[in-house]
Amino acid sequence: MNTRIQVVRVAGLILVPLQLIAVVYLINNISKSSWPVREQQRSNFTGLPIWFNAPCPSTHSVDEKTPVEYIEFGSTIITGVASLICIYKGILTYLDKKDTLLKKLADLLPCNCLPIRNTRNTRSVEGSRDIQGKKFGTIFLFDNIITTYVIATFIPLVVGLIFSVGKLWALFGIFHNVLEVFIVAALCYKKTIKYVSFTFIFVSVYSVVVTGVVGRLPWYWDAMFFKFQGLILDFILPVLFYIMPRKGTNGESQPLMNEKINPLPHVSYLILAAFVHLLGNLADVVGGDSESSVAIFRLSYFVTFPLYAIYVYDQSEGGESKGDFLSANITISDFILLILWGATASATVTLIGINNIRCP
């Protein structure tokens, strides 16, 4: 049994009850004056309400540019550059091959569903590895999900610069969270058509429900709900990356699949990227709308998405490391525990953030 999984399980069993107690305490002790009574700001572009409180009395002029605005612009540029690096490396490494796109798709499918030979699912009697098939196995798909994730983060950043963050922006911001769901699904991959189908159905329902709820909720609940559901994924990802099999481990326990689990190369980049992203979001939620918390949140993008780009760039160098399967190798009960931990931790942080939005 993976020692890291055991550590996470014990930590979860301890933290979930404590966080539930914290949630109950915070709900019962938030005073009336702590709930948002300030009006919303409006977008300079659309004139629509956005997810920012009307400013407290400040020495800043209304039209004065603050450092946070420059940091926001810089984080967008950095994430855009990271997107280009991921796209460039993906094209350079994978698309410039002899195989046709149809054959690559066939190699990715968990069954022989196309009228073309699926090399990934074909093994010789002697058990020799099919190197060509392995190059386009599950880790290849995971790399492309990471690339899409970086791009799906860049687009909402650009939209946020134009429209500002609000209900309209949420239609684009949800794609960032959707790709995080796909990352979680890829890390818990099970080689069945039902699993793949369920993932796409869940993502469709999830995106519709979140955007629908955000559209119906009044200010300030719409903004906090969007942050709450996103934080759950932000808490889960670093843990899943942490418990991924490393090189030199053999994945003795394989409850979710029946075949060999391959280690994920360069996983340290992913752990650090997800952890920094979590810290940035924690600062943003806990700090309310203070300039320092927003600055920390935006600065985290200077680290997180370049690290994801470095992962894609370095990972693409080694075609021989692309195994058939990729999994965090946890049981269903452990995964449920992980979701409960993420949900209670997110609820605790969100309630603390609500308590901190009053003017000083």
235 vs 36, higher pLDDT = 235
pLDDT for the residue 301: 95
Share of the chain above pLDDT 90, in %: 39
Residue 258, phi then psi, degrees to nearest 5: -110, 5
Helix or strand or coil: residue 41?
A: strand
Calculated CA dihedral for residues 323, 276, 317, 74, nearest 10 degrees: 140
Residue 192, phi then psi, degrees to nearest 5: -145, 150
What pLDDT digit, counting tens, does each position of 33-55 carry?
A: 556 566 777 777 777 777 776 66
What do you get for the CA distance between the two ends of the chain, in Å? 51
Helix or strand or coil: residue 42?
A: strand
pLDDT for the residue 277: 96
pLDDT for the residue 22: 93
Strand partners, 40: 53
- Mean pLDDT, to the nearest integer, of 197-211? 92
> Is the predicted pLDDT of residue 333 greater than 60, yes or no?
yes
Residue 226, phi then psi, degrees to nearest 5: -65, -40
Closest CA to 237 of 307, 285, 319: 307
Could you write out the DSSP letters of every residue in 145-206? HHHHHHHHHHHHHHHHHHH-SSHHHHHHHHHHHHHHHHHHHHHB--SSHHHHHHHHHHHHHH
pLDDT for the residue 218: 87
Tokens 């370095």: give the residue.
314
